[in-house]
Amino acid sequence: MKNLSFLCVLALLSGSVVYAGAQERPLQRLTVGGYGEVALTRNFYNDSPYIYAKPSNYATAPGHGRFDIPHAVIYLGYDFGKGWTMQTEIEFEHTGTGAAIEREYEEAGEFEQEIEKGGEVEIEQFWIQKSFMPELNLRIGHIIVPVGGLNNAHEPLNFFTVYRPEGENTIFPSTWHDTGVSLWGQSGGWRYEALMVAGLDGFMFNTDNFIKKGAGSPYEFKVANTYGFAARIDNTSIRNLRLSLSGWYGNSMHNTYPNDLRGAGLVYNDVKGRVMIGAFDFVYKGQRLTVRGNADYATLSDCAAISKAKAIRAANDSPYSKEPVGSAAYAFGLEAGYDILPWFQPRDKEQKLYVFARGEAYNSYIPAPNQQSATYTERVRVAAGLNWFPIPEIAVKCEYSHRFLRSEYNNEPSVSIGIAYMGFFKH
């Protein structure tokens, strides 16, 4: 009897151990991580909506300050086994949700309340993946579109400046994410990715940001009357160096809801609004020196017809912009940082103190010959400062930056400090 009782207790304990192990194993497949950043800025230029229309009136006008949390992100991933995985990325932008008050330059500077659907709290990634082999993986869902250096590596420890690199962040969606299918793989020093996702919406393009807002949607769904195709190739064969090429191709006209600009007798039936992007970026990361760079050029066909159609379609209660959009845009950038901490604390291998400088040239509006000009969009920006990494997952940043415009406009200097983190809490 005693032996029977002992066996029963042992069986119960064994069952408990098996159950606990079954509970622990799924948790070991869970990945939790994220990143976030806090930015404090003083801009030594005026924030009136007329600073480019009447620059002489604002040469000595007071500046303004901005305190912000640009991004706070939570990653959740899970490995189901047998090659099936999933990942989500939930982003909170600027601490809030819902509606926001903005000043509309094209509306004579009046204040308007705008619904920030898809802009304040959004799912940047939600995909399920089947991995067949390292060279072949299939993703379906909401995916990052890795066109350009910033969209490929948008986390705050992947650039030295307090805010995201300004050129790419101005002309491209950032972080660019959309729903579709991705095929990717890697072998040796090569990695490739090819995507088909919902197309851009040409009615969301504008003068100040080119195609940036075209990946968004004011509706509860993403309009997909047209499709976009993206590709990226990375090479890491050279030690400490990554070289990358990426691009995009797709039509942006007639990708609205309702699609009522195509029909009998309408002059816009054959307007395509074809977007083509070519981008090169690289990263060199040595023991103490880090260098990053990008070169991006994008074109838009039928820009004058799209601008005219936008002006007709964009009624006062419409979510679409009335601003014209140009035929092309570009962004070039180069930054370098050097870790000077070994000069002062040669035995500290974990901390880093980078002195950095960044230069950028970009233009969000290159008009077609029959379009109006807007020369204030042509800009050069330089920034210099420090990045202190007390631990590898946290950076404290400070910088001085100066934005140079054409001679008829006022330059735009600023000072910023920030703190950012990026890491995995469970992996």
pLDDT of residue 94: 84
Find out whether 250 and 226 touch, Cβ atoms under 8 Å.
Answer: yes
Q: Which H helix or E strand runs over 4? A: helix 2-28
The residue with tokens 């004579």 is 108
How many Å is the Cα radius of gyration of the chain?
A: 25
Q: Which two tokens stand for residue 219?
A: 């509706």
Q: Which domains does the chain have, with CATH numbers?
A: 33-426 (2.40.160.10)
Which of 308, 31, 39 shows the shortest CA–CA distance to 163? Answer: 39
Angstrom distance (rounded) from CA 166 to CA 400: 14
* Diameter of the chain measured on Cα atoms: 100
**pLDDT tens across 290-326, in order?**
999 999 999 999 999 999 888 776 655 567 778 899 9
Phi, psi of 26 (to 5 degrees): -60, -35
**CB neighbourhood size of 423 (10 A):** 15
Least confident of 1-10, 158-167, 171-180, 305-314: 1-10
pLDDT of residue 55: 92
DSSP secondary structure, 204-259, as one string: G-BTTTBTGGGG--SSSS---SSEEEEEEEEE--STTEEEEEEEEEEE-TT-SSS-
Least confident of 126-130, 309-313, 339-343, 411-415: 309-313
| CA atoms within 13 Å, Cβ hemisphere of 313 | 25
Residue 207 has pLDDT above 50, yes or no: yes
Angstrom distance (rounded) from CA 285 to CA 82: 35
pLDDT of residue 311: 78
pLDDT of residue 115: 52
User: If you ran DSSP here, which 8-state letter would residue 156 be given?
Assistant: G
**pLDDT tens across 93-120, in order?**
887 665 544 545 444 444 455 555 444 7
pLDDT of residue 258: 74
Find out whether 249 and 197 touch, Cβ atoms under 8 Å.
Answer: no
Q: Can you give the pTM of this predicted structure?
A: 0.87
Angstrom distance (rounded) from CA 8 to CA 4: 6
Angstrom distance (rounded) from CA 53 to CA 419: 35
Burial of 192 (0-12, 13-18, 19+ CB in 10 A): middle
Mean pLDDT of the chain: 87
